[in-house]
Amino acid sequence: MADRLMGICWTAGAGCASAAAIGLTLQGTTGWRAWTPCAAALLSGLSLWRSRRQSIPGELTFDGDDWSQTSTVGVVMATGRARIALDLQRLMLLRIEEDRRPGHWLWVDRDGDRSRWRDLRRVLCAGRHVTASAAQRRQDGRAVLP
């Protein structure tokens, strides 16, 4: 699902870039300026291909405190707090934030485990509210429960 979405977005962008290049050429623009949009689309396509090639399928688990992404061979790839960056109902883009390391981006889709999809969504969405209410209790001087 994530591959399909990224492919559609890239195709739309490449089409717009090609239309812009043709429009610039028809207006009399020549040389590198006319083909810059196509070069940008090509570079973004190469970047997309490279990132998809380097992505490793795995499993996302929650231990009550942190989220962990484990590869299919058992290597822990990221551990930390998960935040929803984009929620498309059947597909989510998550950012796993680790201490003192750059965040790790992760596409999660319903087809991975349909029976647990709603549970995953509930826990991730509840995490937003739990964090906010814990911060509010801290600010009010009340005890914060784990």
- Amino acid, res. 57: P
For residue 54, the model assigns a pLDDT of 66
Give the Cα separation of 50 and 40 in Å (integer).
15
Q: For the chain, give every domain's residue range.
A: 2-54, 58-140
For residue 139, the model assigns a pLDDT of 47
For residue 116, the model assigns a pLDDT of 87
47: tokens are 């970047």
**CA neighbours closer than 13 Å in the CB half-sphere of residue 73:** 3
Mean pLDDT across the chain, nearest whole number? 76
- Amino acid, res. 39: A
For residue 144, is pLDDT > 70? no
For residue 140, is pLDDT > 60? no
141: tokens are 């001087």
